[in-house]
Structure 1
Amino acid sequence: MDVWGMGWDAERFAGILDKLVAAPEIDPIVFTLDIPASGAADGPMGVDMARTAAEYAGDKTVIFVANSAIAGVHGEIADICRKNDVPVLLGLAGAMRAIATWTRGKTTPVERDNRTQPDRTLSKDDIAAELNARIRFAEGTTVEEPDAAVEAATAFGFPVVMKGIAPNAVHKSDLGLVRVGLSDAQAVRDAFADIDGILRKSRETLGVGAIRVEAMVSDGLEVLVAGRFDPTFGPMIIVGAGGKLVEMIADSALRLGEVSVDEAAAMIAQTRLSTLLDGYRGDVAYDTEALCDAIVSVSALMARATADVKAVEINPLIVLKKGMGAIAVDMVIE
């Protein structure tokens, strides 16, 4: 149903929603919108829709779907939905599959291969330790002064990456806390000074920070592997283009719950990223098996996470040439 084909009218939308809520045969009610974090596109209408849904939905399940899986979600819409337990799913294709799976599970018995639901006992620290045990991370060390940073960079071999880390610095790049391709000692010293300045200036909001020097990983494909917990759908896993490929390949795949290796492979095949992994136009093929293992690991840990864990994200995971594995460059646990 096109609720703004005649132009947006919040009162008319409220009337339409009231009729949908009253219809017993309709459940859930799904809104698909272009609501990127930038606030553009359908953002203003989406805010009205979220407020109206919170007021009129009653016992009906209302779901917001952001058409793009990688453009984020309009902040005000996300806040309204979060406060009113309204799920927000990212990526139209994956969201529709997830909703279909969830709806079938509500109305018909679902075989689980005699598997019981896993206990949700893993804390954030537990998950971080498990991920480090299961997935290879970029080699790195924390440094306290410029000379130590240069020493570490020399040991790893130039170029290197430098990051500022802090308890509340979730999106480091957005805060100016990441420098890549540092090719000599002076570049390392300059980056240290810049990042140290940001951490000191933002200490009240970010918390006590530190600076980390890491070996730079190249010659691989950058992939996003993320787990999320939704109040309605439970744990879910998302895979798609990561890092610099996000803007070039805007698609992803989503599944509910814990996935197997075969299901992980099917998720990859659902995305255009699979073409690159297989070796586009005779180019080198990449280690899809290692990517599948990472997807399985994140989904398993998300399914066992305690209630305070809302997301587990590796972005990017650098998938290396076939047989060489994959290396995680950054991890966020919220």
Structure 2
Amino acid sequence: MKKTLFLFLSISIFSLVASAQTVRKYSNEFLNIGVDAAAFGMANSVVASTGDVNSGYWNPAGLVNLEDKELSLMHASYFANIANYDYAAFAMPLDDQSAVALSVIRFGVDDILNTTQLIDDQGQINYDRISLFSTADYAFTFSYAKRLPLDGLNIGVNAKVVRRIIGDFASSWGFGLDAGLQFKRGNWNFGLMARDITTTYNAWSIDEEQFAEIQGAVEGQNQDLPETTEITIPKLQIGMSRKFVHHYDYSLLAEVDMNVRFAQTNDIISSSSVSVTPSLGLQFGYIDMIYLRGGVGNFQNIEQLDGEDSVGFQPNFGVGFNYKGIQVDYALTDIGDQSAALYSNVFSLKVDLSIFR
């Protein structure tokens, strides 16, 4: 156990130090959106309390809490339904000490008009030359979790493959690793999720002929090819939660998380090397059937038009219904448009497959 923890911490520290010495670039931002309407309702404050099929995304260590096979589906739309965000996951326990999960995420915009060939060789506009293309980001994740000999301590890892496609113009492949820990002590739960612990690299392949056509369609554009490598630097999410039960029927789950990025951002706590923003989530449950959720997070320093700074935040709201292993959840994110985040309605379905036995 000591060797496992030492290896986990050593890889994390080495990756963070190495990333601080390289040029920081951002990629795969679609993987930071989140999954599961129940988590969205709690402002994504679930890294310590997660313990179902969706743990593969939030903290794979939580997968060991599975009692049977589970399936999860989610859909959300952004930019007035122009972009679609979809997620599917399957998880199962291997035994009482370990579990595995598979998940797929897609964020895409379909049926984009390609007008680069709108004007023919004669200089005439020909609408028949307009075609359609799609741009989509995919993430395929395999998760594994195991209980460690120390009572209450679990560890989990993710291996993820990222595929990004921009029509026939460009595409990329990427690979990365995540690692998570959960520790339970009495009524308290603690969680740590380290994303992209070895940094995630995306290698792009660009069709030079297609790229030249795009540049030719817009005069004065730079003719140099874009960079072909993107780097996703590590991020940490640290959480603490507790569940209160009253007269067996009523429960309240509360969690506080700290989201850490190793770059200077608009987070309310920010320096040249690290930025931190907190989040808080609450879930009120009645007889483990009806849930009411609320959360606030994404605290950002926003510069106004007059040059003054203000603090923006993202309040979320959600409800859920669970009956005999079938759970339907809904979340409304960024109530009142209080932040620069995207407003959206999120729907998800979770099924305990034991109900079909």
**Do they superpose with TM above 0.5?**
no
Instruction: Please state which band the TM-score falls in when normalised by the shorter chain.
Output: under 0.3
TM-score, structure 1 as length reference: 0.20
More helix by share: 1
Higher relative contact order (CA 8 A, sep 6+): 2
Q: Which has the higher strand share?
A: 2
